[in-house]
Amino acid sequence: MMRLEKRPSPSRLWTAATPVLAVVVTMVAGGILFATLGKDPVAAIRLIFWDPLFSEQYASYSRPQLLVKSGPLILIAVGLSFGFRANVWNIGAEGQYIIGALCGTAVALAFYPAPGWYIFPLMVIAGAFGGWAWAMIPAILKTRFRTNEILVSLLLVYVAEKLLAAMALGAMRNPDGGGFPGSRNISRYEPAANTELIANTGLHWGVVTAFIAVIFAYVMLHKHMLGFHVRLAGQAPRAARFAGVRPGALVVFCLGLSGALSGLAGMFEAAGPAGRISIDFAAGYGFTAIIVAFLGRLHPIGILLAGLLMGLTYIGGEIAQLTLGLPAAAIQVFQGMLLFFLLALDLLSNYRVRPGRREMT
Amino acid sequence: MDLSAIDPLVLAASLMIAATPIMLAGIGELISEKAGVLNLGVEGMMITGAITGFAIAVQTGNPYLGMIAAMAGGAALALIFAVLTQLLLANHVASGLALTLFGLGFSSLLGQPYVGVRPPRTFKLEIPVLSDIPVLGRVLFQHDLIVYISVIVVALVWYFLKYTRAGLILRAVGENHDAAHALGYGVVKVRFLAILFGGATAGLGGAYLSLVRVPQWTEGMTAGAGWIALALVVFASWRPWRVLLGAYLFGGIVVLQLNLQAAGVRVPVEYLAMSPYLITILVLVIISSDRARASLAAPGSLNRIFHASH
């Protein structure tokens, strides 16, 4: 039999090693999954993790896509990591992402077709504000009425999705679109477009913002009092109270920050890669970002790497879909398995596994 | 708009059908929370049940075999959660979310051949004498088997928790796992069983959606029903009968909202479709704002990791 012994503090080695190990185990399990679907497992894994970056056939298209897909994931996950550290569970990032996109697009459509340098900055502000405001609903309900923020933030995702559909079919529908649902293409409207900053890199303002958020989060968590309070509140809530941390203020801060960043991600997506508001605008970034945050160990640098990896599975998944006929859902399963293995292997960073029977003391 | 087209009797009968999936999922989650485990994977277990039930029912032509398969499917997913949280001591919230994300992906992978397929029919069970009662008979006693089973399950859970020794042990484990462990009860074993029960009922609830209520398979068809079931447990203050009451209230809202859509109320369909979620939030706020009740009702060890160090 095995015996578990709690470590006084998590092992640094295992904390860094488990995500890598989880990815490897997921690749093996994913290979088995692909094999049962009747696909060559080695080819599928190679197609997902290697070819998007290094094959001559796909790389020219897919390399820029890496930043396009990873940008929103990193941006959202950095915001979520603050809350997850402090035990504030915002799992409604998808909703905040949608509302941010709607607010940003609304600004662009309001100015259409006027020129003006100030339109894009206004959209950025509107996007962040929209996400922030949507996250304030669970925050205020939590601090005022002690309502569970997990359920409220998640239920608001469904509300946001309905609102998105209502806007795509109603108020924001393109008047020149021949009655088809969806807004005007604002990425073709110069003052509102979130363009590629360096050609063929996929680098747009959202990706830049994501990088800034990573640096900002790193400094905040490791050099700033507020970051210390966030970590303290998560690890020792009672000690945090004695240290003068106000739990309510922390809830508002964590939800507000993650909401604003998710809103920004949505707005940059709508003005750039997606180009417009449509019924199927929400692609699940808000949920995948939860996996990214955990895979990155809630650490900004880790999230950066995890976001890039998860972005890669999206692109690789698309390629595998086209060439092998691998269903899109298989990638979702793959991502879910990754989180399972990560959580399972986390045991190693928090506990020592010792041989021998449980001793009675 | 033609509100007279809404027949209150049909409404009352169909609200029982709308309530059944979340009642089943909610009562299972109640058992699991009473044992001290908050499983946020209800949505994932429901949708897994929805597709396994649908697939087996189509393959065998027997909806009831499908429903048994759905219970097995939901329980299988719950087993992953149990292993993660009870044996590997992983964070409950994160593991539950993982279950939901995995379940949504897994079900749409599994469900690809079944899009657009019609499932075998389930028959209504008209209870002999009772269904002939003029008004009540039509509303209460002309449903399929699962509607009655869901009510019976609620009754059994109530009896189990209140009057049996095993129920008492389950509650002890949920209220204070250290004390229960010291008394010699197998905390991990009890929690395993509670989680599996929750998975099985959530799976059955999901299969009821895909086989009876809709009846069809579409990706992501549970559309938040699992989350609403979680809210239902809070609404019920962890009491079985209130799960029943809450589910019927909620079913009423859903059905009314659908009927208003059909009657052509001059509000866009999307806004009406928001109402179940908004009302769930509203109810959560009302329940949780009552400080005394909210803090007393929740099991003491809910969401705490149990590690027997000695």
Answer whether CATH 3.90.550 is correct for domain A38-326.
Answer: no
- Answer whether residue B241 is part of any domain: yes
- Answer whether residue B303 is part of any domain: no
pLDDT tens per residue, range A182-195: 888 887 777 777 77
The alpha carbon of residue A17 is apart from the nearest alpha carbon of chain B, in Å, by: 17
Residues B206 and B74: beta-carbon distance below 8 Å: yes
Distance, in Å, from the CA atom of B248 to the CA atom of B298, rounded to the nearest integer, reads: 22
Question: Which residues are A4's β-sheet partners?
Answer: A353
Cα separations in angstroms, A135 against A5, A105, A155, A251, B117: 39, 19, 12, 10, 39
pLDDT at B123: 67
Burial, A3: exposed, middle or buried (Cβ in 10 Å; 0-12, 13-18, 19+)? middle
Where do runs of H (alpha helix) occur along B209-239? Answer: 225-235
- For residue A343, give the nearest of A293, A300, A307, A303 by alpha carbon: A293
Residue B76: list chain A partners with CB under 8 A.
none
Residues B91 and A345: beta-carbon distance below 8 Å: no
Choose among A155, A157, A340: nearest Cβ to B98.
A340
pLDDT at B276: 85
The sign of the dihedral angle between the CA atoms of B173, B179, B184, B188 is: positive
- For residue A138, give the nearest of A90, A97, A186, A99 by alpha carbon: A90
Identify from B40, B181, B254, B277 which residue to disrupt to test chain A contact, counting A C-beta atoms within 10 A and taking the largest count: B277
pLDDT at B77: 93
Residue B291: list chain A partners with CB under 8 A.
146
Residues B43 and B205: beta-carbon distance below 8 Å: no
Distance, in Å, from the CA atom of A322 to the CA atom of A61, rounded to the nearest integer, reads: 14
pLDDT tens per residue, range A117-164: 888 899 999 999 999 999 999 999 988 888 888 889 999 999 999 999
Q: What three-state secondary structure class fits B239?
A: coil
Residue showing tokens 């059909």: B262
Domain ranges, ordered by start, for chain A: 38-326
Residues A320 and A328: beta-carbon distance below 8 Å: no
B283 DSSP 8-state letter:
H
pLDDT band for position A361 (cuts 50, 70, 90):
very low
Residue A148: list chain B partners with CB under 8 A.
234, 284, 288
- Token representation of residue A312: 């890669």
Question: Is the pLDDT confidence value at B269 over 70?
Answer: yes
Choose among A141, A291, A344: nearest Cβ to B285.
A141
Provide the residue count of chain A: 361
CA-nearest residue to B267 within chain A is A166
Does residue B214 belong to the interface with chain A, where contact is any CB pair within 8 Å?
Answer: no
CB contact under 8 A, A155 and B224: yes
Question: Is the pLDDT confidence value at A226 over 70?
Answer: yes
- Answer whether residue B69 is part of any domain: yes
The number of beta carbons lying within 10 Å of the beta carbon of residue A7 is 13
Does residue A34 belong to the interface with chain B, where contact is any CB pair within 8 Å?
Answer: no
Lowest mean pLDDT, pick from B96-100, B205-209, B304-308: B304-308
Number of domains in chain B: 1
Choose among A4, A147, A347: nearest Cβ to B285.
A147
The CATH number for B169's domain is 1.10.3470
Q: Which of residues 300-319 of A touch B (CB under 8 A)?
A: none
Choose among A151, A166, A337: nearest Cβ to B227.
A151
CB contact under 8 A, A327 and B112: yes
Does residue A176 belong to the interface with chain B, where contact is any CB pair within 8 Å?
Answer: no
- Token representation of residue B219: 């990706």
Burial, B251: exposed, middle or buried (Cβ in 10 Å; 0-12, 13-18, 19+)? buried
Q: How many CB pairs under 8 A join A and B?
A: 143
Choose among B83, B228, B268: nearest Cβ to A166.
B268
- Answer whether residue B28 is part of any domain: yes
A204 phi and psi, to 5 degrees? -125, 180
Residues A333 and A347: beta-carbon distance below 8 Å: no
- Answer whether residue B309 is part of any domain: no
Residues B236 and B33: beta-carbon distance below 8 Å: no
The number of beta carbons lying within 10 Å of the beta carbon of residue A195 is 12
Residues B202 and B24: beta-carbon distance below 8 Å: yes
Distance, in Å, from the CA atom of B85 to the CA atom of B96, rounded to the nearest integer, reads: 9
